[in-house]
Structure 1
Amino acid sequence: MEELVQGASQHLQRGVELLDANQPQAALAELDQAVELEPGNPRIRYYLGRALYLTGQYEKALEHLTTGLPVAADPSAFGLIMGQSLIELDRLNEARSALDGAAALRPDYPPIQLQLAQVCYRAGNVDAALQKLAETAELAPQWTVPRLQAASIAAEKGDAATAAELFASTLDINGDLPLIWVRLGDNLEANLDYEGAIQAYRSAIATSPDLLAPQLALAYLFFNRQQFDDAAAVLAELLQRVPGDPQVLLPVGEIQMIEGQHEAALETIQSALRALERAPTTTLQQVGAQRDGLRLRALELQAKTLTNLDRVTEAEAAARTLLAMNPSNLDGLFVLGTVLLRSGNQEGRGHLRRFQRLSDVREHRELAYDFYRRGRDPDRAVAEFEKALVIEPQDAATLTGLGTVRLAQGNAAAAVELLAQAREAGAASVEWYREWILALHAAERSDEATQVWQQVREAGVTLGPRVWAALGNHQGAC
């Protein structure tokens, strides 16, 4: 027996060391051997539960934690990991019970309070989650995690000002977090504080000079502000480091095009297209754009540059490629219409008329979203969406937007009808899935809503606390 205990102790020690080294998978091998040798040891059960939680094996983690809990020297530690596992399994009422039990044994312990905030967030009670995170931050003034989580929730809600304040307070604690400087910059930019955003991005660069994200963010900010000289300076430095990165090449090419350097622009844009064709998606450092979006933008710039160079045949081919990818692409329609007319082909007039119609649709749609999100005026938003639909009745984005507003107004039947039309028109965005699920639920078609939600979750897509609150059946969890 003594040899078994000694062997278990050795495996436990190695397992704990591997966990401390952030190697939970390797720790499992040691801890599995330890528990076979000494199944009644609660410390082994605890660390095995932690390792299983960290490797995403939540049910197994609960089995070992439940076994060890009755004889644990520190039941609150067990309750914390059990609560975290139950949160991941979406069993929020059980998670709340486990965490409340842990909190009773260890009052005001920040990690437990943090997980209670997560329960509220997952249950859809965002305000309660933010309140709990604020309390946790007071309990642990030098701990950045509760502030970061609160900042992320504020950003998700569209409250850029509050998000910026929380990111800034995090950086007051620890300024050596370059990606948090970037997030601060992003939210300051969203709140139209451009000088503050520039300073935040520069702080990120100073903190981590080798990180591309803040330099790309700074370059794009300058570009979007039409400060082309400043953008070009940042991009030139980036090109020295990553000469083939399409995210750098594309704004360089666009600046060259704007400045009338069309031959140079075309060469730069085609270099970006070649890089996109040969580079695996995982090698691209993404800043707000996916690979397909980068390729689409490159093709748009190529088509416009070829038009500027009066290379009509090539421009027509580029425009047709764009429209094959997206029949409603405005740049593709404009370029194709323009070059066809230059060649004397009157078919171009039809493409230009469609370009004008879709431009008007986009203008009405953007105004509608502005009324809805910024002005909090759903009636005026509806009027603008309806104007867009008069022009283009099957526009998926407009149908989705109008369905969203109708749902917010409490008209679930109208929302379901509009969102179904949007789906037939090709809608497949995260926004569409979220509003479709919520509309089905509001229309008392909960079984269908749950089925769609399950499919979306299996695809790894998160739809946010509104869906959890509606479908999670977590009454009393927060």
Structure 2
Amino acid sequence: MQCQGCGGRFNVPSLGEMRRRQQRHETIDGQPIGPAEAPGDAQLSEIPSSFYVHFCGDVGSTGRISTTAIENYSGVVAHAVDTLIAQADSDDGFELMVSLALLPGATRLMQIETAPNGPGDSPGVDRHRGREGLVDRITRRIESIAIPDVQHGPVAFLMYRRVNLAPVTKIGIKPFSRYRNEIDKCGIDHALMRAAGLIEPSSDRTAPLVKWWNQGLSRLRSLVSKPASEQAPPLTPEQVFQETSAWIEHTEELYAGTSDAELKRLLRQSPSELALHVAAAARFANREAFENAISAYSDAIQLAPKCAPLLGRRGWYHYVVGNHQAALIDLNRAIQLVPSAAWFYLHRSQIYAGLEAWEQAQSDLDTAIGLAPREPAFRFRRAELHLSRDELAPAIDDLTPILQLDPHNGATHAMLGWLYQQDELHNESLALQHLTRAIELVPDAIAPRLHRSMLYMSQNKFELARDDCDSALRLQEDEGQAHALRGRILQMQSEFDEAIQACDRAMELGVETPAVFLTRGFCYAATDQRDLALADCHAVLDLEPKNPIALHLLGSLSLQQGELDAAMEALTEASRLAPQWTEPREQIALLHRMNENPQAAIDEQSALIEQQPEQPAHYVNRAFAHTQAGNHDDALNDYRRACELDPENEHIFFLRGCFLMDRQEDELALEDFNRALELSGVYDGARLRRAAVLMRLKRHDKALEDYEKLIEKYPDDPYAYSGRAYAHQMQGDESAAEADIDRLAEIAPEDAQEAAVQSLQAKVIRLEGLERYDDAIAVAEEIIDMAPDAAIGYRLRGWIRWYTEQHVEACDDYTRLLELSSDDPEPDLLSSRGQIYAEMGEWDNALADLDAAVQLSRTAGLHQVLAFSLNGRAFALAGLDRTPESDRDFEESVRLCPTNAWAPYNRGIVLYKRGQHDQAQTLLRLALQLDGPPLTQRKRQRAEAVLLRLATSQS
């Protein structure tokens, strides 16, 4: 400091030490360090433009507030003040001083002042009005900052800022000027407590007399080298410890500016001078030359063997270099000398923890907290100890009080944020709150950003997660964990190549964990680099043979390669290790379906539904298995439940529409495809399927609209051109159909013949509708010539021959079709040939085909084919006079397909032959009205003839 009287410069103790000496009524002497500078030398007396001063109140483990708490609080205040000053963006120059006292009971006493004029202002120029808004904003901001716990009296500090002013040699503002008279009269503690209303006003108090300490360093040295004078009351070990610690701090500050060479010279000159050895040890420790520091402390301890602070320091540095035994010896001796020194227990607990002596470590921390219950560091260390033993709830119990003592403790917020992400304590809201606060308080810390990034990723907020990860990498670009996490985020965003690069970088930096290999493995799998994906899978399993995620990936890759046994083995093991994880079991069910074991798949999906009854995907997958097993009603029930659970999922409606379309329930299928397109107008698969259903329903104009939209969106889509050609042909626009087929030949020549056949098929159907049967047969034969190995030509010709009652020829065509599919006969072919046999009167052959058709169509859930087959079998049974069975089949057929004109026709003819004319007349009239499907030309003529005959006979 510089003396305002003589201008000389002096080394003086720290402010804390001077307060303690003042409280003991001891003189404070300064040591001159150079000649006085000339008053004109402004550099020596220039006041910094920004500084902080601790004004009053003991801080520390046994003080009114912990050092960490007041540092954190004042740091937040300083940041707030500087931010608001920067935002003010004023060219005016001014001085600003914030005088702030924290008092018991969460009480704050604040005074913010600005100098009315800068030194360069003209007399009479008052810029105070322009600063009122800034002072108000600073006041409101500080009042919003949580106050740490303070006990037994005030703790005050001041903060000074000079804005847009030239250097000054004198401050124009005094701290706590509002209470200056009371401070001078009663002392600062009493004045601040009284101003805050925490003590009653008292009678006149005389300011405490201040005696200057005149015993110098010899007095301090005597405290650690020999007992106190017999005339003075003996000091307690605690007092000796406090005095000695203060002296050591002062000594370290005193010699901080001394050069290495000068310090060595002094040590050679005075080897028994304790202060020199203490200064040397501190210098070595600051430079992390810990072995040299230990040696210097050992020299000091030889001069003061009962100096507990020196033993504590040396013990700590023994611990730092890994000499735990020596560290324990020193700390045990220090604790024997001063059993009330809480920090010694903290340091010894860390040694015990390093030796995994958990009970001793916790006992020491319990003791430290008992001695200094308001020191956050001890509780924080105990929380870390609990975490090392996976004791999460006790860790929370230790961390929560820290925020009462020190609400701006960034490390505590960070640890709480991490803890609330763990399964045992999962609370995403609290985790986010604490992590965000930790980032605000410690903006240069990487861990809170990474933990918040992981939290955002778990919430599928990938952009926010990526921002945090990138911020961490800007702080430290070689942080391997950040690259690993970034790779995972990129994988979730389907940016697989970048994710692979991030994982590679993480591995280069030494992060070769299972998680990194898995992330890269999934990315390799997604980019069809299966060999590399398998290599990463096996790397994980080498590190963790029971890793269910790696086994799941291995099973998935094996499944893709068709290695079903290997896939089943890996997925089964993954499911065993993680029984609540549904994905492996879903794939196991798929494997059962691939292995033609639908019942096993149903059982697996049923177990999943029991585990997650509200998950629609489980019902959809069980519907697949039920369909494979022939349980079509059960499959439909599962589709219905999935739609109920997720009525906004267009894909589920699309799948159910496909299922209904396969069952030839076209109207219901159309409803589902419409719903899928309502939910997502761009669902092209649903549009293509809807067009096909519309074609089957003979709504050709609507189908054509869908095909037009598909071609507009996908001008090279062969399916759209093929479908539109079919639609044009059904409308009789053969030139447009041929144009589409020609276009198809250009873009997909391999599909051109199939499309041409399909177009001719549409022509056959159209000609049949026009009752141009000979022309239809000719086109069918054209198809046979074009594709002799295809079934469609024979199917079309057999159908037209049947409808024109060329029964023998039709029977030959269907027999050929059944020969082509002998391994797996189609139920509709058996149904058609069986009905032809029935119309020919070959009842036994008819029943053989129709019994098989009924059974197959029931199993496949083909309701329309079943209805037609039952109708044909009823007709054949009637021909054999098996009337009850015939009536039963007729009734079921009508129930399944009430629009089928052939059912009332066949039954009407049977009843007519039985002489039941009234019933026959009713049924034949109904048959002439129905059109789903309608009667053929000859059946219609026959029905009309019978009705005319009946009408004539009745007249």
TM-score over 0.5 for the pair: yes
Residues 1:184 and 2:656 aligned together: yes
Is residue 657 of structure 2 the alignment partner of residue 202 of structure 1?
Answer: no
Match of 1:253 among 728, 753, 756: 728
Q: Displacement, 1:89? A: 4.5
Q: 1:150 to 1:48 in 2, by over 3 A?
A: same
Q: Tell me the equivalent position of 2:487.
A: 15
Letter in 1 for 2:729: E
Tell me: CA distance 1:108–1:193, structure 2 relative to 1, closer, same or farther (3 Å): same
Mapped to 2, the partners of 1:113 and 1:135 lie a distance apart of: 9
CA separation in 2, counterparts of 1:184 and 1:17? 34
CA distance in 1, matches of 2:656, 2:616: 14
Whole-Å separation in 2 of the counterparts to 1:19 and 1:75:
19
Q: 1:48 to 1:296 in 2, by over 3 A?
A: same
Check if 1:297 corresponds to 2:758.
Answer: yes
Alignment of 1:446-465 (within 5 A): none
Gaps of 5+ in 2: 1-472, 798-807, 832-843, 850-955
Residue in 1 aligned with 2:272? none
Match of 1:277 in 2: 745
Match of residue 326, structure 1, among 763, 788, 791: 788
Matched with 2:369 is: none
The aligned runs of 1:372-451 (5 Å cut-off) are none
- Would the alpha carbon gap of residues 274 and 255 (structure 1) be closer, same or farther in structure 2, given more than 3 Å must change? same
| In structure 2, C-alpha distance between the alignment counterparts of 1:202 and 1:30, rounded to whole Å | 44
Deviations 1:86-105 (A, max 9, x none): 44455555545544544444
Is the aligned partner of 1:233 residue 2:690?
no
| 1:139 counterpart (611, 629, 632) | 611
Q: Counterparts of 1:248 and 1:122 in 2: how far apart (Å)?
A: 31
Report the residue type matching 2:813 in the other structure.
Answer: L
Residue type of the partner of 1:249?
R
Partner amino acid, structure 2, of 1:296 = V
Question: Within 2, Cα distance between the matches of 1:316 and 1:55?
Answer: 52
Q: Could you say which residue in structure 2 is the equivalent of 1:349?
A: none
Distance in 2 (alpha carbons) for counterparts of 1:33 and 1:333:
63
SS in 2 for 1:146: helix
Q: Is the 8 A contact 1:103 1:112 kept in 2?
A: yes
Larger deviation: 138-147 or 11-20? 138-147
Whichever of the two has the greater Rg, that structure is 2
What is the identity percentage for the equivalent residue pairs of Structure 1 and Structure 2? 15
- Whether the 8 Å CA contact 2:794–2:814 is kept in 1: the answer is no
Q: Which has the higher helix share?
A: 1
TM-score (norm: length of structure 1): 0.56
The alpha-carbon distance between structure 1 residues 188 and 107, as it changes in their structure 2 partners (threshold 3 A), is: same
Amino acid in the other structure paired with 2:754: G
Residues 541 and 547 in structure 2, CA contact (< 8 A), matched pair in contact too? yes
Provide the rounded CA distance (Å) in 1 between the counterparts of 2:742 and 2:761.
Answer: 15
Deviation, 1:46, is 2.1
Matched with 1:79 is 551
Instruction: Report SS of the residue matched to 1:108.
Output: coil
Q: Which residue of 2 aligns with 1:370?
A: 827
Give the Cα–Cα distance (whole angstroms) in 1 for the partners of residues 745 and 828 of structure 2. Answer: 40
CA RMSD of aligned residues (A): 4.9
* Aligned ranges 1:58-77 → 2 under 5 Å: 58-69=530-541, 71-72=543-544, 75-77=547-549
Q: TM-score, normalised by structure 2?
A: 0.31
* Shift in Å, 1:184: 1.0
Amino acid at match of 1:85: L
The aligned length equals 344
Alignment partner of 1:29 is 2:506:
no
CA displacement at 1:317 relative to structure 2: 11
Distance verdict in 2 for CA 1:248–1:189, change over 3 Å: closer
- Give distance in 1, aligned partners of 2:796 and 2:830: 30
Secondary structure in structure 2 of the residue aligned to 1:6 = coil
Equivalents in 1 of 2:644, 2:595: separation in Å? Answer: 31
Judged with a 3 Å threshold, the aligned counterparts in structure 2 of structure 1 residues 121 and 25 are, in CA distance, closer, same or farther, namely farther
What's the CA shift for 1:189? 3.3
Q: Structure 2 vs 1, CA of residues 46 and 221 (structure 1 numbering), >3 Å: closer, same or farther?
A: closer
Offset at residue 301 of structure 1 (A): 5.0
Work out the CA distance in 1 between the residues paired with 2:578 and 2:795: 65
After TM superposition, give the deviation of residue 293 of structure 1 in Å: 2.6
How many angstroms apart in 1 are the aligned matches of 2:845 and 2:509? 70
For the residue of structure 1 that corresponds to 2:588, the secondary structure is: helix
| Structure 1 residue ranges without an equivalent (≥5) | 258-264, 283-289, 336-352, 385-478
C-alpha distance in structure 2 between counterparts of 1:76 and 1:5, whole Å? 32
* In the alignment, structure 1 residue 164 sits paired with structure 2 residue 616: no
Report the residue type matching 2:621 in the other structure.
Q
Secondary structure (helix, strand or coil) at the match of 1:326 reads coil
The structure-2 alpha-carbon separation of the partners of 1:123 and 1:33, relative to structure 1 and needing over 3 Å to count, comes to farther
- Tell me how far 1:20 sits from its aligned partner: 0.7
